[in-house]
Every structure is written in structure tokens, then in C-alpha cells.
Amino acid sequence: MIGAASGRGENAVRRITRVPMEEWQASDAASPAPTFFARPGWARALASADPRFKVSPARCEFADGTFVDVPLVAERGRLGWTEYSGLPLETYTIARERGGALATPERATEAFRAIVRRLGQRCRITPWPAAYADIDISDCENRARETSLIDVSGGAEAAIDRMEGVVRRMAGQAERRGVVCARVADPVSAVDEYYAMLTAAAARWERGRPSFSKALLRAVVEYGGPDVEIWFARFENAPIAGGVVLFGSEELMFWSAAMLSEQATLRPSNALNVALIRRAAERGVRWYNLGSSEGLPGVKRFKEGLGAFSVAYKTFERTSALYAAYRKLRAKKK
């Protein structure tokens, strides 16, 4: 992976090279990335679950000799076409200085711009919203996105107090009725149970199936280690709701959620979110990230009731003219 230089001045990225996997892992072990999606465990899980993916973190070297590293995954297609993503499944990436500190938005923008313009026949970058929501990259396509965040830096109880009263009361009612929320001690053993619940819940959605495979969930649990947790809300010892949460150093990401619709009146989702807010504070992260709910006004309203605020961000993309023509031709043949 090598990108040619373009632009002038000390802020120009003069070349892009690949970061050795061992170096990325050592760097993250010493100073974990703020979001799980920018950590080696997520990229390795993607590559393990789907052989099309290859872990390909990029190093963007500036004209002054400094550099930032950007987590990426490459996807090799037919005829040698290559797509780069930071990162697949609409997840995020960051730019990190040597030593692990987040790059400033200005330096991150230059790195992301260079990557989008130079790598592969198609390249997509989604900067982490909590740090890079205001980043803009000109001369490429972009898609407006939105996520919901709760700031837990002031402690769990302060965050819970900011919930709408009715939402907080429903969580309390769920607990009084006997709904018990707890994380699974061994998430490996809970993959099948959780994925069965997720599949049942997904059958009611427009898509009709989960947005990720069981193989990916297994890989995430395997490569994420203690930074991946599976939680269940149980009633009379039976799971009625659940979720998978992923930890970076500054964020708990509520990656996946499922609930049995026939048990909705027990409000297990309210109770589960309260438990997870407490868990986020216990782990010492700042952000409880509930993810996007674009096109789902009811879901967004529920998140607002939990005290979440919306953060707008963008996904940036560039596709070469030749590759776009190739994809269009293939689509016609299907």
C-alpha cells in the first residue's frame, strides 16, 4: 500500500504505507484506541469472519517527517480491484499520532483526505463522531449520518438523572417486576443464545435478518477479549432482551440490541440501558454510544428519552471512474 505525494506544505501527506500488524497491536495494547472500531480486535474479527477482508492499517507521513496511523480494512475483489474502508459495516476510524494520542482534526482531515483520494479503486472513511464530527473532506462524495451519545463523564447517576422521568420510572418498574440485567461471565458461551434472540427480533424488521453474521459475532468475542460483553435482561430466569457492547478507552458502543416483542410491556430495554450506563461509568469511559437510528424516528425518540443527544457526522467516499463503470456493468448483468 503506497500512495504518491500530492499538495505542498508541512501539512501535506507525502506518502502512505502500511503499518505492520504487530506494531498496531502493540500500540493499542499500550494505549487503547478510544472506540473499539479503531482497534485491532475489530479489524481482525472482520478478516476472520469474511476472507474478502484484509487488515490494512495505513501510516500517513507528512512533509515534516511526522506521521499518523489510520485503521483500515482492504477488500480484494475480482480483476484485482481493491476497496479500502475505515471501517466496514458503517463503523468508524481515527487518526493517531506516534505514542497513541488522537490527531487533531486538522491533521486527521489531511490524513483522511489523502487516503480517500489515493488508496484503491474505491475508498470510504467514517471518522469517529465523538472526536471528528466536524471534519469535512472536499472533492469526494459524502453521506450525512447521525449517532446518539450520552456523556457519562459525570458519573452514572448524573446521566440517569438526565433521562426523561417516564423512561427512568419504566426502568425502575422493570426492576421491581423482576427483570434482572447482567453481563454474561463467558460471552463465548452466550453467542448462540444471543444470536437466536437477535434473529427472532430481526424477523420483524424490514430486512428480515440480522445485519451481521453469527461468524462475525463469534470473531468479535474471540478477538475483542474482555472489551466485548454480552448482556441479558432476564425475567423468571429467561432472557427477554439483550445486547452486545464494545469498549474503547473512551466509549462504550451499544453495537447490537435485541428484544422479544411479546415481553415489551416489561420494559427490559429501559432497564438494560440503565444497567449499561452504570457499566460505562464503571469502566471509566466518557461516551455511551447508542449508534445511528436514521430513518427510525421511534428509535431515535427512545434514545432521546434516555438522555442522548444527536451528533451529526459524515462518511466520505471516492470511487474511480473506471471502477464505477465496471460496477455499473456488473449490476446490469445480474
The full set of domains in the chain, from first to last, is: 13-145+314-333 (3.40.630.30), 153-285 (3.40.630.30)
pLDDT tens readout for residues 157-186 = 999 999 999 999 999 999 999 999 999 999
- By residue count, the chain amounts to 334
Check pLDDT > 90 for residue 192. Answer: yes
Phi and psi at 265, nearest 5°, equal -65, -20
Contact criterion met (CB below 8 Å) for 108 and 68 = yes
pLDDT of residue 8 exceeding 60: no
Q: What is the pTM of this model?
A: 0.93
d(CA 101, CA 181): 35
Question: Residue 97: which residues within 8 A CB-CB, separation 6 or more?
Answer: 66, 68, 103, 107
Q: How far, CA to CA in Å, does 65 sit from each of 13, 57, 58, 68, 104?
A: 9, 19, 15, 10, 16
For 109-144, the pLDDT digits (tens) are 999 999 999 999 999 999 999 999 999 998 899 999
Which three cell numbers mark 60?
500517513
| 8 Å CB contact between 95 and 60 | yes
* Strand order, beta sheet including 58-62: 13-18, 58-62, 67-70, 96-97
User: Pairing mode, if any, of strands 251-259 and 287-291?
Assistant: parallel
Tell me how far apart the terminal alpha carbons of the chain are, to the nearest angstrom. Answer: 32
Grid cell listed for 328: 455499473
Residue 3 binned pLDDT confidence (cut-offs 50, 70, 90): low
